[in-house]
Amino acid sequence: MKRPVYNAFKSLLFNRGHFFAAIVYRLTCLIPNDALYLKILYRLEFKRRLNLNNPITYNEKLQWLKLFYHNPIHTIMADKYVVKQYVKDIIGEEYIIPTLHVWNNVEDIEWDKLPHKFVLKTTHDSGNFGVIICKDKSKLDISSVEKRLRKSLNRNTFQIGREWPYKNIKPQIIAEEYLENNNSDELKDYKFFCFNGKVKAICVVSGRNSVHGACVDFFDVNYNQLPFRTLYENSTIIPQQPKLLQEMIDVSAKLSQGVPHVRVDLYEVNGKIYFGEYTFFTSGGLTPFRPEEYDYQFGEWLTLPEKMI
């Protein structure tokens, strides 16, 4: 094997993210059967068989929900634009990040009408694939951003993870106001793991802009740190409890009523709470818990509903 080819292969093999992504993208085109596809992904990640007949762990139950619980309201909840009206109707407009513009195509974006700072999102994509954070429009590489947005608009999020809520979302681009704290503190992500309208765990993402990258810490509803980690390291300094924690818990409970499981993502900015998004399948239901017992603990909290397909 030639050295450049060998080095490239080795890079894929030992860089879990790149290697796993490469496998996923190839499998999406080759395996139309959703159950078989998810069984393969699960086997690759956990080195064991996916039990769909009697799922026990959190990750197993998330795969079951993908296949057997197709509630139409979840498509609205997963759409980053349409969901705003849904959330507004439940908890009020004051929790909604203001929308500046909505476009169907990259070519429709009127860059000169956007403010100095803003956030762009594609409505149908997951994770940060379709998110552009602009802190200074004068330094923005518009050509590069347009290329990234086109790629996101053409991305079939459902096909990649077989997450049903994303299947029928209309791909659009939205521009939102840029949120920042007046005291210059970083904007932390607060993610509330809700089970049938009850918050059971809180995830805090901090240090996104640090040299070492993001850290992730989990807490119970009393903000006691839970002794486990997932894909990311815990923070060396425990993130400070948000001032509006109880209100955030109450808001998350209201927003998750009647849903077997969903993650409600919120921000605390200058004494106000803002809704970020709903997430039905954290890390695609392929989250390695360390120690593994918490995969079972989260699984106990998730009571599977009757099938809806």
**Cα–Cα distance for residue pair 25/3, rounded to 1 Å:** 25
pLDDT above 70 as % of the chain: 90
Region 273-289: what's the mean pLDDT? 96
Go through the domains of the chain in sequence order and give each one's CATH number: 53-68+181-309 (no CATH), 97-179 (3.30.1490)
Quick one: pLDDT at residue 5? 42
Query: What pLDDT, on the 0 to 100 scale, is given for residue 20?
Result: 59
Flag whether pLDDT at 21 surpasses 80: no
Q: What is the rounded average pLDDT of the residues 163-172?
A: 97
User: What pLDDT was estimated at residue 231?
Assistant: 87
**Beta bridge pairs of residue 34:** none
Alpha-carbon distance of 215 to 40, in angstroms, equals 29
C-alpha 199: how far from chain center: 17
The pLDDT tens digits of the residues spanning 178-209 come to 999 988 677 889 999 999 999 999 999 988 76
Q: Mean pLDDT, to the nearest integer, of 286-292?
A: 95
What is residue 228's predicted lDDT score, i.e. its pLDDT?
96
Burial of 200 (0-12, 13-18, 19+ CB in 10 A): middle
Q: Is the pLDDT of residue 27 over 70?
A: no
What pLDDT, on a 0 to 100 scale, did the predictor assign at position 7? 45
Predicted TM-score of the model (pTM): 0.90
Structure tokens at 219: 């807490």
The two tokens of residue 259 are 């849903």
Task: Answer yes or no: is pLDDT of 225 > 70.
Answer: yes
